[in-house]
Amino acid sequence: MKVAVFGATGLVGGVMLEVLKEQNFPVTELIPIASERSAGKIIEFGGKQWTVVVPQEGLDKKPDIALFSAGADRSLEWAPKFAAQGCYVVDNSSAWRMDPTKKLVIPEINGDVITAEDKIIANPNCSTIQMLVALAPLHRKYNIKRIVVSTYQAITGTGMKALKQLENERNGIMDGPMAYPYAIDKNCIPHCDVFLENGYTKEEMKLVNETHKILDPAIEVSPTAVRVPVVGGHSESVNVEFEKPYTVDEAREILRNSDGVKVLDDPDKLEYPMARFAQHKDEVQVGRMRADLYNERVLNMWVVADNLRKGAATNTVQIAKLLIKKGYLK
């Protein structure tokens, strides 16, 4: 199978290659694609060396599937060209997520919506993926009415420039390139992506809109997204109100038996999810599950996942594997 990775030299692209390798994805020919400045670089994969090519060269090689992680503008320009020649595209940018003609997929939740005709499939935002993997099983049982979520998002969600900014600041270099309007070291910035007219940021509205598209348009979502000086792993404080009665023990057991979820919830042993221990793992970790003090239909929980893996690369590869399982990719 000819597999293109569009954005192969970026943070997420590099993790996509790791996940493809770990999951034994049937790659017979790798087509690493990047911008002109990265063209000609060599990538090691599957015991062979592969040369990075520019988008047109990658298109000319006619891949069977292309995993995109090169930003919305590149996806809008190139994904339709790949799809037009029969290539399946799984796109990790925001380009197609809210397009009503494109499916927005988390395999554990709504993988069944994909059809053979879906040549461009959108990968949700990282913070949405981990929240919904944890909440979808509970929604099926108790019917979620409202979600109040605060995110604590790692700088790797911004990219290489953010990593460089943090590294510079920790080394006392304060005049280097800035990914954020303020110092991120020893700081929390309540500002992820650009501000919109309603006072929320684009990152916050992704949590709203993507939850509506994937899970249920009737769910009320009240988000706050914060950037924190953590290198890898997003954390979320989630306050969820159900329409039906629940118990913490039952909810915990539901999640213990849900695909893609790992429950770490034993305060007596100081067991709870943390970004440090979620790094390089594919599961969504859930803990600190406790009943609200004032509303018997409300549950509080702490949700953590590696934003570059389940939040991006792993979910993308899972969609690709689903295409094989359904018989669309051979």
Looking at the fold, whether 215 and 253 belong to one and the same domain comes out as: yes
Looking at the fold, whether 132 and 246 belong to one and the same domain comes out as: yes
Looking at the fold, whether 142 and 279 belong to one and the same domain comes out as: yes
181 belongs to a structural domain: yes
Apex 310 CA angle, 305 and 314, nearest 5: 155
Cα→Cα distances 285→33, 128, 135, 143, Å: 32, 14, 12, 21
CA–CA separation, 110 and 79 (whole Å): 22
pLDDT score recorded for residue 72: 96
Nearest to 65, CA basis, from 109, 102, 108, 16: 16
In whole angstroms, what separates CA 69 from the centre of its chain? 11
Looking at the fold, whether 171 and 38 belong to one and the same domain comes out as: no
Looking at the fold, whether 43 and 180 belong to one and the same domain comes out as: no
pLDDT score recorded for residue 321: 98
140 belongs to a structural domain: yes
Chunked mean pLDDT (size 10), the chain, 330 residues: 97 97 97 96 96 98 97 97 98 97 98 98 98 98 98 96 97 94 97 98 98 98 98 97 98 98 98 97 98 98 98 98 96
pLDDT score recorded for residue 293: 98
pLDDT score recorded for residue 65: 98
Looking at the fold, whether 81 and 150 belong to one and the same domain comes out as: no
Looking at the fold, whether 91 and 160 belong to one and the same domain comes out as: no
pLDDT score recorded for residue 330: 85
Question: What's the CATH number where 178 sits?
Answer: 3.30.360.10
330 belongs to a structural domain: no
The number of folded domains in the chain is 2
pLDDT score recorded for residue 74: 97
pLDDT score recorded for residue 68: 98
Q: Which residues are catalytic?
A: 126, 234
Looking at the fold, whether 156 and 274 belong to one and the same domain comes out as: yes
Looking at the fold, whether 143 and 287 belong to one and the same domain comes out as: yes
Please give the residue range of the domain that contains residue 152: 127-306
Question: What's the CATH number where 50 sits?
Answer: 3.40.50.720
Reported pTM: 0.96
